Amino acid sequence: MQVPSVPMTGKGAKVSLSFNDGVATTSALTLQASYSYSGETLVDRVYTLGTNRMINSRPAANPFCYVDGILDGADVSSTVSNEVSVSAGNMLVANVSIPIVAKADVAIVRPAATQACWTAIVADTGTGVVSAVKGADTTAGTGKAGLLDTYGTGAGQKPLIAADELLVVHLELDSTAGTVSSSEMLFDDREWASISYKMLPSIGAIMIAEALPKLHTGGVARSVFFSGKYWEASALANVGDAQQWSVTPNTSSVSAVTFTGGPSESQIDNWSFTFNQLFTDAKALDAIYNRQGYAAVKLELSSGHYFLFVGSFAGGITVEPGSFIVQQLSGSIQDRPYWSGQ
């Protein structure tokens, strides 16, 4: 962490605020292969809008994320030798429901004698047509024991599928002709149209509960899309008569009590902030009146170091004879603020 290298006063510090609802977008987020957040390294779980962009998390702005995926149906069965049947269903593509076309005779190709292979049953996102994609045979001659749980073009790997296809099921096949049993149908990697995620507005990102399988051509996962509004840090406007600001992290205790005792830990969360200004600038009052107190905020030191975050705030206006009229504001930060020296 970097902080000012010498003691300094608050003179020259700045407060900057957003003054509108931001820029509307529907676009793919950028996957971060590795991202450090609150002391934890997250692998393939954080997706960002871009550097110094913040998500407008105001409910009226209706921010949300989605992936292309299967909504319902597409049930798989096998009653004919070397064929599977896929029922009709629906999938979400570009946030629009598209039908999956039923197909009763999807042909599969068995591996060579004594070998095994994976076969992916997929649905085309443009046409809804279902087809089979065969993986490379194993080479050890030990049947299914040689199958791998990785994706690629190598022997025994699960096949990579095209970017415009969605995985319905993996079939675990040996060389013996016949129907495909339910135990040979693996739905673990089926690409559903739902993900569990939480927004990190202050860094313009989302964090998903678990990484998406990288099973598409090139060894990549499906894209994650964001729809909503965001603020650019460079578009924030300075509050010229700001007098004071503060950022305060708070702690909370988490306990798991068992009959034999249990761990207790302290967490840093519920960040809050304040700032005061002379009543000569309308940006804060406008946010309170017209945007439920939501705004992108930048609190900067004269050294150039700064906190950047999305917060919701309110505050009163103090009028006293002989004193300047002051607006005192305080609020909550939506998540952990970004610090320029991290």
> So what's the pLDDT on residue 191?
98
Confidence of residue 174 (pLDDT cuts 50, 70, 90): very high
Q: What are 49-77's pLDDT values in tens digits?
A: 999 999 999 999 999 999 999 999 999 99
Contact at 8 Å (CB) between 44 and 33? Answer: yes
The whole-chain average pLDDT of the chain stands at: 93
| Element spanning 290, H or E | helix 283-290
The conformation of residue 184, written as its DSSP 8-state character, comes to G
DSSP state of 13: -
pLDDT, residue 259, reads 63
The whole-angstrom separation of Cα 253 and Cα 101 is 52
Return the closest-CA partner of residue 91 out of 7, 4, 164: 164
The per-residue pLDDT for 10 is 85
Residue at token pair 């443009």: 126
How sure is the predictor about 188, in pLDDT bands with cuts at 50, 70 and 90?
A: very high
Instruction: Find the mean pLDDT for residues 231-246.
Output: 93
Query: Does this model's pTM top 0.85?
Result: yes
Tokens of 273: 């902030």
pLDDT grade for 85, boundaries at 50, 70 and 90: very high
Instruction: Please spell the DSSP secondary structure of 97-119, one letter per residue.
Output: EEEEPPEEEEE----STT-EEEE
Q: Which class for 175: exposed (0-12), middle (13-18), buried (19 or more C-beta within 10 A)?
A: middle
Give the chain's domains with CATH numbers: 22-66+195-232 (no CATH), 69-186 (no CATH), 237-339 (2.40.10)
Residue 283, phi-psi category: left (phi > 0), alpha (psi -120 to 50), beta (remainder)? alpha
Task: Name which residue leads in pLDDT, 303 or 256.
Answer: 303
Q: How far apart are CA 277 and CA 285, in angstroms?
A: 11
Reduced to 3 states (helix: H, G, I; strand: E, B; else coil), residue 259 is: coil
Say if strands 165-174 and 116-124 run parallel, antiparallel, or are unpaired: antiparallel
